[in-house]
Amino acid sequence: MLFLDQMNRQVSLPQPPRRIVSLVPSQTELLFHLGLGDKIVGVTKFCIHPKEQVKAKTKIGGTKNFNFEVIDQLQPDLIIGNKEENYQAGIEQLQQKYPVWMSDIYSLDDSWEMMQAVGHLTDALLPAEALVSELKQQFAQLQPVVPAIPTAYFIWRNPYMGIGNQNFIDHLLTRCGFENVLGHLPRYPEVSAEQLRSANPRLILLSSEPYPFKEKHIAEFRAICPEAQIKVVDGELFSWYGSRLLHSVPYLQELQQAVMG
């Protein structure tokens, strides 16, 4: 059968896959959620959910440095990756030998489409559709705060890197009513203290990943923007676009309430 991935590439699968390698943590968790755990043969070292199940799976390197020898030993009949999280040269090398299905996620609608497509190509469409239906119902309950709160979201330190436009985190910020003051910048811009001060956010969110921001880092940002509320947030619940989204709405609603006081 021929399947179209989210990069508009055709992927040919003669039969439902029995040996899957996942190159993306959030999509690995999704595959387990869809009941495909026994078909997953390889995951990245960053694939940490579900904790006990991923421990037993062969690690194929990182999301941006694959161990091709290990992947060859696993002989996958399907590899699932993501345009942003994986690296082009590595994906192109894998495509020469294996069917590689790629996601490309900017919004919740993209994530719904990805889940259903993954369900279709792995012969797990029913649980995928049930998951999407449940998530749509949950996110229908997430109402943006009004008026919108000027917000900056940071993912890295030394140098400071924030969330610009055209990415999934920016989309979720908007859904919450957190107006991204860095939204006019490229997807993941470096941001100087002067730029941040000039952007004048009322709320600064420090992500727990990929840089592990902690409470001790709040003082740095308070020195730059003394008037802003500053909070450390769970980065997985802002950036993982698979079944982890089942935990996002209650968390985001609590965050909205905490910010509104």
pLDDT tens figures, 211-255 = 999 999 999 999 999 999 999 999 999 999 999 999 999 999 999
Q: What pLDDT does residue 112 have?
A: 98
Distances (CA, A) of 133 to 66, 106, 115, 127, 195: 34, 19, 11, 10, 41
pTM for the full model?
A: 0.95
Is pLDDT at 93 greater than 90 in this prediction? yes
Once rounded to an integer, what is the mean pLDDT over residues 190-217? 97
* pLDDT of 18 above 90: yes
Question: Taking 90 as the threshold, does the pLDDT of residue 157 lie above it?
Answer: yes
| pLDDT value at 159 more than 90 | yes
Which letter, b or e, does each residue of 66-76 get, where b requires 16 or more Cβ atoms within 10 Å of its Cβ?
bbeeebeebeb
Compute the average pLDDT of residues 110-124: 98
Average pLDDT for 165-188? 96
- Check residue 60 and give its pLDDT: 98
Angle at which helices 168-176 and 248-260 cross, to 10°: 50
Averaged confidence pLDDT in the chain: 97
Radius of gyration of the chain (CA): 19
Cβ–Cβ < 8 Å for 203, 174: no
Cα–Cα dist 25/188, whole Å: 20
Whether the per-residue pLDDT at 101 is higher than 90: the answer is yes
The whole-number pLDDT of residue 261 equals: 80
